[in-house]
Copies of this chain bind each other. A is one copy, B any other.
Amino acid sequence: MTDFFRDIPEITYAGPDAEGEFAFRHYDPSEMVMGKRLEDHLRFSVAYWHSFAWPGGDPFGGQTFERPWFGDTMEAAKLKADVAFEMFRILGQPFYCFHDYDVRPEGDNFAESAARLDEIGDYLGEKMQATGTRLLWGTANMFSSRRWMSGAATNPDPEVFAYAAASVKACMDVTHRLSGENYVLWGGREGYETLLNTDLGRERAHAGRFLQMVVDYKHKIGFQGAILIEPKPQEPTKHQYDYDVATVYGFLKEFGLEGEVKMNIEQGHAILAGHSFEHELAMARELGIFGSIDMNRNDYQSGWDTDQFPNTVPEVALAYYEVLKAGGFTTGGTNFDAKLRRQSLDPEDLILAHVGGMDVCARGLKAAAAMLEDGTLEAMRSERYAGWDAPAAQKMLDGSLEAAAARVGDEGLDPKPRSGRQERLENIVNRFV
């Protein structure tokens, strides 16, 4: 056991009136909500990269965090894993996620990197065995190294495509071995800086083909988890091909993959794409591709990805409302792809940021469940569209433009608008949050 978190107790539920900072006020894993334990609804996951690998840099400043496990040796990697699992224990985290790059130092060549990933995979597996913490998803970091600067699957150099295939294969293998419940692809460099040097058609075709290969490989190895794409409109590139849910849906349709691939939706990326989080969730649900969420917010006044811990219950409630309407998570979960502010230097900050985020999510999910159980919102929605339930309306939908048009004259139609009642609906939401 390391001493990084010494003196920090395990966090347990103590109710809204708890004393002090080291307690859950709202997250009681065993609380039953809509017939399911809260823990099983939320399926919380810690992101290895932000919590254990990120040094605290930003575009104008370098490392602020000084962690005993920083370094590029296997010993450091194992110390990092030790600390990570101590944090999972303290928080009672059921899940975590990682990139290859987070858990092992890069080797001198691919084979060495892969061997290190295997070795650390075993190390993580033992800890998972011992603690019961599970892997929500694995993924390959194909954006940090200069190798990927012009893309991975969409690189102008076919050798990089091969390297990407090897990287994803290695990460899928270790994810499968660790019984990961999903495998995620985030195309941080699959996009462009300028159209002037980009063959858009070729790059998109390669991206589509790569994704087909990934799906085929999943079936070949019998991986039962979901393949997830995480949309993001831009940053680091000027334009990323996985812009938002609707864009990725079109891409999946183009390559015949809409039945094979689902979405990992991040609040911050929704904001960057000009959407609300709930919009992206609702869209994925309606298109049949909802998978999992990255529950980290962006700052509305900043034009880049701030990856902050969630802290606004009303927003989180509207997000979980869409999740619950989608039937809740199956393989997916609530991943905190959230990083501490770079001034939050202390071990306590790392623990308490997660505690706060988990409490906000618990409040949000319980509010969402209460809204659904109350039923007023859904009743008002149904009532608004009730006209469409009439057989004549459905018949019109099945008919021709001329037939629909003819109704206007035949029936003397002059439809009158009815109130959309937005403010009243917002008031109702406010009873629950």
Contacts and interface: CB of A to CB of B under 8 A. Distances in A.
A283 to B, nearest CB: 7
A144 B312 contact: no
Q: Which of the listed residues A236, A343, A355, A393 has the most CB atoms from chain B within 10 Å of its own CB?
A: A343
SS class of chain A's interface: helix, strand, loop or mixed? helix
A254 interface: yes
A346 B419 contact: yes
Nearest to A213: B401
A337 to B, nearest CB: 13
Interface stretch (A127-135, A327-335, A402-410): A402-410
B274 A407 contact: no
B150 A417 contact: yes
A253 B144 CA distance: 34
A420 B144 contact: no
A189 B58 CA distance: 12
A341 B193 CA distance: 8
A217 B282 CA distance: 32
Contacts of A254: 249, 253, 287
Interface string A124-147: 000000000000000000011111
A200 B286 contact: yes
A423 B64 contact: no
A302 interface: yes
A301 B343 contact: no
**Highest count of chain B CB atoms <10 Å: which of A21, A166, A413, A421:** A421
A274 B301 contact: yes
Nearest to A348: B424
Contacts of A196: 377, 381, 422, 425-426, 429
Contacts of A162: 396, 404-405, 407-408, 411, 413
Contacts of A400: 213, 216-217, 220
Contacts of A355: 427
Interface stretch (A33-41, A73-81, A90-98, A303-311): A303-311
Interface string A171-183: 0000000000000
A388 B433 contact: no
A339 B142 CA distance: 24
Interface string A160-196: 1111011011100000000000000000110001111
B423 A193 contact: no
Of all A-B residue pairs in the complex, the 7 with the closest CB atoms, nearest first, are: A303-B303, A250-B250, A343-B420, A165-B404, A356-B427, A353-B423, A158-B393
21 contacts: A60-B143, A60-B235, A61-B189, A158-B393, A162-B413, A165-B401, A168-B401, A194-B426, A195-B318, A196-B381, A197-B381, A197-B384, A206-B388, A239-B279, A249-B254, A273-B274, A276-B301, A312-B315, A343-B420, A345-B418, A349-B424
